[in-house]
Amino acid sequence: MNVSTEPVILKLGGSVITDKAADQGVVREDSLRRIAKEVSEYRGKMIIVHGAGSFGHTYAKKYQLGKVFDPEGAIVTHESVKKLASRVVDTLNEYGVRAIAVHPMCCTICRNGRIESMYLDNIKLMLENGLVPVLHGDVVMDLELRACVLSGDQIVPYLAKELKITRLGLGSAEDGVLDNDGKTVPEITPKTFEDFKHYIRGSGSTDVTGGMLGKVQELLELSKTSCITSYIFNAGKDDNIYRFLNGEPMGTTISPDKRV
């Protein structure tokens, strides 16, 4: 087993831990338990970020969050994703993972939907003291829009950059970025993105933050401004999370351009 002393950032996609076809928050219990077990078998430090799935996107869409400021919509959506966070944290703790929720609404400010600042000292201390911070897609206050939807896909590369963490992966319900034949694209870099862009769309379900295209764009931004390689992989398949945490490359790799 390759246990790194550096933390790993893992995103649990809302499409894996919830039923995204539901019109209200529904947890996929079996999937969450299996994931909690795999996470518990990893001994290193980690940060978990989970998607909002049907606990967030449905309400964000209903109240048009990000387009119009709706205090009731912001509260309903935030309360709903907090419920999911509590289910995730409780299940992880049942399996012995010392998980603790960090709600982005309470520590983040955005500007036009992009993170302007996030309070990180608590997360650093949690990592130093053996706790596993669990963040999630949330509604957060925004300097221009008043409130916006902050995707877990944006939080992951932000944390990687700010905390200088180089191993990160977005686990979702597909094997990675798929081409038109359903085959996994092995690698995308900023230069090769144009070759693959036409395969990559939003989500098959309700998703206000860009589905697969949103993920690829967030990770490409990171690869343009750092030497970090990240992964989009299938967290819905047995053992993949365990293998990812232990250092196996998998799914689609999003990498910086090769030096010539």
Ligand X SMILES: Nc1ncnc2c1ncn2[C@@H]1O[C@H](COP(=O)(O)OP(=O)(O)OP(=O)(O)O)[C@@H](O)[C@H]1O
Distance CA 136, CA 151 (A): 8
Strand order in the sheet with 46-50: 99-101, 132-136, 46-50, 8-12, 167-172, 230-234, 252-254, 187-188
* Residues 150-189 close enough to bind ligand X by CB under 6 A: 152, 172-174, 177-178
Q: Does the annotation place 131 within a ligand binding site?
A: no
Residue 51 or residue 157: which is nearer to ligand X going by CB?
A: 51
Residue 127 or residue 140: which is nearer to Mg ion going by CB?
A: 140
- In our burial notation (b when 16+ CB lie closer than 10 A, e otherwise), range 32-67 reads bebbbbbbbebebbbbbbbbbbbbbbbbbbebebbe
Q: Does the annotation place 57 within a ligand binding site?
A: yes
Residue 130, Ramachandran bin (φ over 0: left; ψ between -120 and 50: alpha; else beta): left
Question: Among 8, 27, 46, 52, which residue sits at the site for ligand X (rule: CB under 6 A)?
Answer: 52
Distance CA 237, CA 129 (A): 31
* Residues 184-213 close enough to bind ligand X by CB under 6 A: 199-201, 203-205, 207, 209, 211-212
Per partner kind, with CB cut-offs from 5 to 8 A, the member of ligand X, Mg ion, none near residue 177 is: ligand X
Which residue has 């993972």 as its token pair?
97
For ligand X (CB under 6 A), the number of binding residues is: 24
CB of residue 252 to ligand X, shortest distance in Å: 8
Binding residues are: 11-15, 52-53, 57, 152, 211, 215
Binding region for ligand X (CB under 6 A): 13-16, 51-53, 57, 152, 172-174, 177-178, 199-201, 203-205, 207, 209, 211-212
Binding residues for ATP are: 11-15, 53, 211, 215
